[in-house]
Structure 1
Amino acid sequence: MVHIRKTPLEVLDDIYNLAYWMTGTEERTTDLVNRTYVNIEHNASEADILKTFRECYVDTYGQQPSLHITEEEKPDNVSLLTSLSQKAADVKLSVLLSEISGLGHAQIAEILGRPIETIRQWLFWGRKFMAHDGQLKASA
């Protein structure tokens, strides 16, 4: 199978769609796309652009758990909430990379830095959650 190499400009539509699905607003989408493109090289590969997108997303939104827990209810183990929030964002991103960008399991595993079996499980459950809920609520 021949994989066609996309230039950073050709990946822009995919990045914008991913950012919109991940953030939900045009303002945040534009900000995330801009952050991504500021941090990539001129001749970056599609995988490198998507890795940079993920890093920018996690830096901006992934560290803020949005599980609707007030300060009074916040447990002592905040790192657990952060971990759950980041995992939910990665599950959602894996589904979007598959559905919007058309990437295969191995490519998604490379971008997210996870084993292929984990990606397969995330895709299975993530599609179910997104079909049922419309979005993964635990992500930003």
Structure 2
Amino acid sequence: MTTIKKSPIDLLDDIYSLAYWMTGSEKATSELVNMTYVNADMRSEETAILKTFRECYIDRYGQETDFCIDSIDCKPERNLMAVLRQWAADIKLSVLLNEISGLKHAEISEIIGKPVETIRTWLFLGRKLLVSDMLLKVSA
């Protein structure tokens, strides 16, 4: 079966949808999409553009995964929260890449930089979390 690769322009709708689901705000979505396309090479492949989107999202919202092991002035609570926010963002992005962009597990693994088995686990957990989150919002 032949897969059709999308050009950066063809990805615009997918990137916008991903950005909206990740941020929940039209203004933040527009900023994130603009940052992605400013930093992307227009001759890049689909996965490279989506990696750029992820990097822009992380840069914009400051979700770093640095561990503070030997530093004296380290605040473990702050680093732990940053790691948990990054983890949650990557799980949500994994589900959205699969559901909105229709990417396969291996492609998502390449974009996120985690093993395929981790992505499969995240997809399972992420779908359940997104459904329960939506049910809580509906019931409120």
TM-score interval (norm. to shorter)? 0.7 to 0.9
Question: Which of these two proteins has the greater Rg computed from alpha carbons?
Answer: 2
Instruction: Detail structure 1 runs of 4+ shifted over 6 Å in the superposition.
Output: none
Partner of 1:134: 134
Runs of at least 5 residues in structure 1 that lack an aligned partner in the other structure: 65-75, 136-140
Alpha-carbon offset, residue 43 of structure 1: 0.6
The one-letter code matched in structure 2 to 1:53 is F
Runs of at least 5 residues in structure 2 that lack an aligned partner in the other structure: 65-74, 136-140
How far apart are the structure 2 equivalents of 1:56 and 1:106?
Answer: 21
Alpha-carbon offset, residue 134 of structure 1: 2.4
CA RMSD of aligned residues (A): 1.6
Alpha-carbon offset, residue 63 of structure 1: 1.9
Aligned length: 125
- Give the % identical residues: 60
Alpha-carbon offset, residue 62 of structure 1: 4.5
1:69-103 CA-to-partner distances (Å, cap 9, x unmatched) read: xxxxxxx3111110000000000000000000000
Partner of 1:86: 86
Partner of 1:99: 99
How far apart are the structure 2 equivalents of 1:46 and 1:62?
Answer: 24
How far apart are the structure 2 equivalents of 1:4 and 1:15?
Answer: 17
Alpha-carbon offset, residue 27 of structure 1: 0.2
Partner of 1:46: 46
Matches within 5 A, 1:1-140: 1-63=1-63, 76-77=75-76, 78-134=78-134
Secondary structure of the residue that 2:98 maps to in structure 1?
helix
Alpha-carbon offset, residue 10 of structure 1: 0.3
Partner of 1:72: none
1:20-51 CA-to-partner distances (Å, cap 9, x unmatched) read: 00000100000000000000112111100000
How far apart are the structure 2 equivalents of 1:54 and 1:134?
Answer: 23
The one-letter code matched in structure 1 to 2:115 is P
How far apart are the structure 1 equivalents of 2:125 and 2:101?
Answer: 19
Structure with bigger RCO (C-alpha 8 Å, 6+ apart): 1
How far apart are the structure 2 equivalents of 1:5 and 1:43?
Answer: 12
- TM-score by length of structure 1 reads 0.85
Secondary structure of the residue that 1:6 maps to in structure 2?
coil
